[in-house]
Amino acid sequence: MNRPNPATDPCSLARGLAEVGDWWSLMIIREAMYGTRRFSDFQQNLGIARNILSDRLNKLVERDILRKVDAGEHGTRFEYRLTDKGRDLFVVLTALRQWADKWVFQNEPPFLLVDRISDRPVQQVQVLDADGQPLKLHQVAIAAS
Amino acid sequence: MNRPNPATDPCSLARGLAEVGDWWSLMIIREAMYGTRRFSDFQQNLGIARNILSDRLNKLVERDILRKVDAGEHGTRFEYRLTDKGRDLFVVLTALRQWADKWVFQNEPPFLLVDRISDRPVQQVQVLDADGQPLKLHQVAIAAS
DNA sequence: GACATTAGTTTTAATTTGCAACCTTATTGA
DNA sequence: TCAATAAGGTTGCAAATTAAAACTAATGTC
């Protein structure tokens, strides 16, 4: 890691990646979004090594993406639950999921994200301008804030 | 990498992550979105080791996210340009950028993404249902397609 | 012809990962 | 009561990945 120190990089993207841009971290977050909360469930569902899982869970707790909660009366079992910050990654993961639906599965993905109530697929995530018009990459710029 | 083989995982998210879910790959894609095209420019702007850059550029070309183009007449200089598939990651990176703007920079990021023409900031990326209503994590489900 | 630039590859060392085994504290059950 | 099992780790070691630096090789420039 000789990245131009991600923790002080002024680019939000780099800083965001420094917090969650790691395969296992993102898989753990996905798993948490599916409802998984226990160490051994993460371990079995993901097939991840226990030391790596332990390390990633600790980092995600440090970064306030997961919260470690006492479950069961006597403090020997725990649950890892998404915080608001963690839940807010939903849109990021959804955008990536849709990208892969389109480009990896050629628009024929095995699973679809649907609205629980109507059971209809969610819309394609987009970048919109202030008037609600879709924007392409070449139509945007980075401005000092 | 003893991940339950990402290349055959039926989850789009896992498959997407297997293609771009790597710190350097995403930084290279960001850099490409800013307009960088040459090996040495990527190298200098990112401060990445040359062997790692070489490896990641090759993988991104393999995955059809970048295209390697002869620049200059005689074939000793090249450009790496985003493909449509690569450009389509714009919304994913924008969602992550906005997440970090909010949660890492507490809504006071050093830079903002703006619409080139009006110079106004882009809207917050959202997950919308079929009627255009914003959806939260707990309002969606995964359905076989 | 001498030197610089571009785009790498090679080599070596440091770091990270994966795997297996072990540990500690409950809880179950015979 | 005592063994067995489960949860949630930690430790040690081998293997894989990464970083930094040096080295190539093909033009291009003075």
Domain ranges of chain A: 12-87
Q: Which residues of B touch A108 (CB under 8 A)?
A: 145
Lookup: nucleotide whose C1' is closest to B72 CA: D27
Predicted confidence (pLDDT) per residue in B64-122, tens digit: 999 999 887 665 789 999 999 999 999 999 999 999 999 999 999 999 999 999 999 99
Least confident of A45-59, A113-127, B2-16, B49-63: B2-16
CA angle (B113, A16, A103) in 5-degree steps: 75
Task: Spell out, as residue ranges, where chain A has pLDDT lower than 50.
Answer: 1-3
What are A16's two structure tokens? 């965001």
Q: Is the pLDDT of residue B35 over 60?
A: yes
Of all residues in chain B, the percent with pLDDT exceeding 90 is 83
Instruction: Tell me which fold the domain B12-83 belongs to.
Output: Arc Repressor Mutant, subunit A (1.10.10)
Residue A2, CB, strand C, below 7 Å: no
Predicted confidence (pLDDT) per residue in A52-68, tens digit: 899 999 999 999 999 99
What are A19's two structure tokens? 């917090």
What number is the average pLDDT over the span B5-19?
85
What number is the average pLDDT over the span B23-30?
94
**Residue A63 DSSP symbol:** T
Strands B111-115 and A140-144 come out as: antiparallel
pLDDT category of residue B4 using cuts at 50, 70 and 90? low
What are B98's two structure tokens? 């906005």
Q: Which residues of B touch A4 (CB under 8 A)?
A: 46-47
The DSSP annotation for A107-121 comes to: T--SEEEEETTT-PB
Whether domain A12-87 has CATH 1.10.10.10: the reply is yes
As a rounded value in angstroms, the CA-to-C1' distance for A133 and D19 is: 44
